[in-house]
Amino acid sequence: MMCPVADARVCGDRHLSRLGRYADAPSRWIMLVGSMGPYRSILLLESPFMFVRLGWSMLASFVLAGLLMTPPTVSYGEDETSVTDDGAGTQFYEVRTYVLGEDGDAEAVDAYLQDALIPALQRQGIGPVGAFAPSASDTNKLNSIFVVLPYDQLGQLETSRQALANDAAYQAAAAEYLGRSHDNPPYQRIHSELLSSIACWPKAKVPAGLLSNSDRVYELRLYESATERIADTKIEMFNSGEVPIFLDCDITPIFMGRCVAGAHMPSMTYLTSYENEAARLASWKAFVKHPDWKVLKVVPKYDGTVSRIDKFVLQPKPYSQM
């Protein structure tokens, strides 16, 4: 169901330029553009509680002036995205964690990912692939490598395995890694979860210029919920207005997904990027103080939607495509 008109927030031109970097992302948000004398505003329709920030009188003036429009498409820079009521399931993500443990061989795993797996996936048209390690600021003390694999279709998980088996270049590049003996594995275990994209961020997006920033850092967050229905409500909270607050605080999503198979269900997982560690800390300080978050978090139905948060502060591997 599309976001109700009774929920709107006035955004300045800075919001439009920020959203313009994510042409494929906000398919559930309706952008309404109006002018009133010398003033120009963008109304970002979100979820049914923030209308008080706009006020009925201002909306009425837009309507009476004939300036309130709900176009069939939403323009973000040069691209256009259809206004649909559900972008969920547009992509699927495997978040794969190579747990190295005390005896793991990080160099062997890196070589496999960089020289064998990622090039082979590129030949299959799968990407961008993200590869990360814990940063110095991470407090989990895990010796692990995190890999994000995006798929446009669920069936690619199986067809990709078959393609790797038939890819001579992959088999040659991966020979040392795949040929390890049972008493000399390069890792302790591989943990994996499968995610389906959610409506407010239906496809993974790597912002222009991100990969050239060697100081960039990331957060991978996993939100567990007590029951399936409560997990659905948390995802509704994201779809109804949490992501615009992220963008306003320079918390830049890469992907967001509902867990459909994994060890921590019911849950959702998302990856965000930041210019550097100081920017990450500043962004989250801004988020908790943001007036729209203060309104959103006290909506009664959203109370208790997260029962546990796992947060990993990550730095990219040199070969990461995210």
Q: What are the pLDDT digits (tens) for 206-260?
A: 999 999 999 999 999 999 999 999 999 999 999 988 999 999 999 999 999 999 9
Cα–Cα distance between 200 and 213 in angstroms, integer?
26
Of the ranges 25-39, 100-114, 195-209, 298-312, which one carries the lowest mean pLDDT score?
Answer: 25-39
pLDDT surpasses 80 at 163: yes
258 backbone dihedrals φ, ψ, rounded to 5° = -85, 135
Cα–Cα distance between 233 and 256 in angstroms, integer?
15
Considering only CA atoms, which of 256, 199, 246 is closest in space to residue 3? 199
Residues 6+ apart with CB under 8 A from 182: none
Cα–Cα distance between 271 and 308 in angstroms, integer?
17
Considering only CA atoms, which of 4, 3, 50, 34 is closest in space to residue 245? 50
| Residue positions counted in the chain | 322
Query: Tokens for 244?
Result: 């615009």
258 strand-pairing partners: 196, 268
Q: Would you state the torsion angle of the CA atoms of residues 113, 88, 275, 127, taken in this order, to the nearest 10 degrees?
A: 30
312 strand-pairing partners: 220
Of the ranges 36-40, 188-192, 196-200, 280-284, which one carries the lowest mean pLDDT score?
Answer: 36-40
Cα–Cα distance between 151 and 128 in angstroms, integer?
10
Q: What are the pLDDT digits (tens) for 84-137?
A: 335 678 899 999 999 999 889 999 999 999 999 999 999 999 999 999 999 999
Burial environment of residue 10 by CB neighbours within 10 A (0 to 12, 13 to 18, 19 or more): middle
Considering only CA atoms, which of 104, 148, 95, 145 is closest in space to residue 315? 145
Cα–Cα distance between 262 and 162 in angstroms, integer?
22
Query: Tokens for 234?
Result: 């948390």
pLDDT at 88: 76
pLDDT at 138: 94
Cα–Cα distance between 34 and 41 in angstroms, integer?
6
Handedness of CA 18, 24, 28, 32 (dihedral sign): positive
List of domains in the chain: 8-82 (no CATH), 86-322 (3.30.70.100)
Q: Would you state the torsion angle of the CA atoms of residues 146, 258, 10, 276, taken in this order, to the nearest 10 degrees?
A: -10
- Over the Cα atoms of the chain, what is R_g? 21
Is 62 strand, coil or helix? Answer: helix
- Compute CA 105 distance to the chain's CA centroid, rounded to the nearest angstrom: 29
Is 74 strand, coil or helix? Answer: strand
Handedness of CA 248, 254, 259, 265 (dihedral sign): negative
pLDDT at 126: 97
Angstrom CA distances, 216 to 79, 281, 317, stand at: 26, 13, 11
pLDDT at 3: 38
pLDDT surpasses 80 at 28: no
39 backbone dihedrals φ, ψ, rounded to 5° = -100, 140
